[in-house]
């Protein structure tokens, strides 16, 4: 049984009235309660298609399997229906996959899903639990460091933020949690999802945000 976990802190938020989404995550993982040191850290944000991105916390093995399943099923849907699965349809698919994986594994994961709907010209953001539960919101956080990152975002977030301000808020919330939560750290990987696709930003060399900076 795999006991490697991602820790972790993952955040996401919409910006400019849902025209885009930013996500950010630390890059640390743990094994049997010990921090697993990797020079490049562990990637917790994953591009599924040009319009779908996921982030996961929990078991590394289950999370990596989940990413492979999502890519396979969305590719099959596109081939069978000659169109992309969008929005809530993607969330429902993820929910079913997580439910089936949860019944087959003792380990579990929590997932944040970002989608761009090219018909509605807006982004949708979902949190999906290992039990298949689906919650949509303008911003969210998950993982052991979310206890610190979520209130940091809640007191500062505005729907009208442009991409740079949203990205800064997301990354700063990860810096804060990394300075407090022992299971978050190593660096930051962030991403933006818009009509133009997905762009990743590696800011692993940035110093942590301390409590006195808040």
Q: How far apart are CA 186 and CA 39, in angstroms?
A: 8
CB 127 within 8 A of CB 107: no
Distance CA 207, CA 175 (A): 7
pLDDT digits (tens, 9 = 90+) for 88-145: 999 999 999 988 886 555 567 889 999 999 999 999 999 998 888 999 999 999 988 8
Question: What is the Cα–Cα distance from 194 to 117, expressed in whole angstroms?
Answer: 10
What span, in angstroms and rounded, lies between the C-alpha atoms of 97 and 56?
A: 14
- Sketch out the chain's domains with CATH numbers: 4-213 (3.60.20.10)
Given a cut of 50, whether residue 207 has pLDDT beyond it is yes
Q: Where are the beta strands (DSSP E) in 10-61?
A: 10-15, 20-26, 29-31, 34-36, 45-49, 52-58
Query: What's the token pair of residue 156?
Result: 């500062």
Look up residue 82 and give its two tokens: 């000659």
Is 165 within 8 Å of 149 (Cβ atoms)?
no
Cross-strand partners of 22: 13, 192
Tens of pLDDT along 32-68? 454 555 545 678 999 999 999 999 887 778 888 999 9
Quickly tell me which residue has 């997905």 as its tokens.
198
């Amino acid at each position: 049984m795999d006991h490697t976990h991602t820790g972790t802190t993952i955040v996401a938020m919409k910006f400019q009235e849902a025209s885009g989404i930013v996500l950010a995550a630390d890059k640390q993982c743990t094994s049997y309660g010990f921090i697993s040191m990797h020079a490049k850290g562990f990637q917790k944000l994953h591009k599924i298609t040009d319009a779908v991105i996921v982030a996961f916390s929990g078991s590394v093995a289950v999370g990596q399997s989940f990413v492979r399943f999502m890519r396979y099923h969305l590719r099959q849907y596109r081939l069978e229906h000659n169109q992309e699965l969008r929005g809530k349809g993607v969330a429902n698919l993820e929910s079913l996959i997580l439910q089936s994986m949860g019944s087959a594994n003792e380990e579990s994961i929590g997932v944040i899903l970002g989608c761009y709907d090219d018909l509605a010209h807006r982004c949708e953001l979902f949190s999906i639990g290992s039990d298949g539960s689906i919650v949509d919101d303008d911003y969210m956080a998950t993982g052991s460091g979310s206890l610190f990152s979520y209130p940091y975002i809640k007191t500062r977030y505005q729907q009208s933020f442009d991409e740079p301000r949203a990205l800064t808020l997301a990354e700063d919330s990860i810096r804060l949690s990394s300075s407090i939560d022992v299971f978050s750290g190593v660096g930051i990987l962030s991403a933006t999802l818009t009509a133009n696709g997905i762009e990743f930003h590696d800011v692993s060399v940035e110093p942590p945000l301390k409590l006195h900076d808040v």
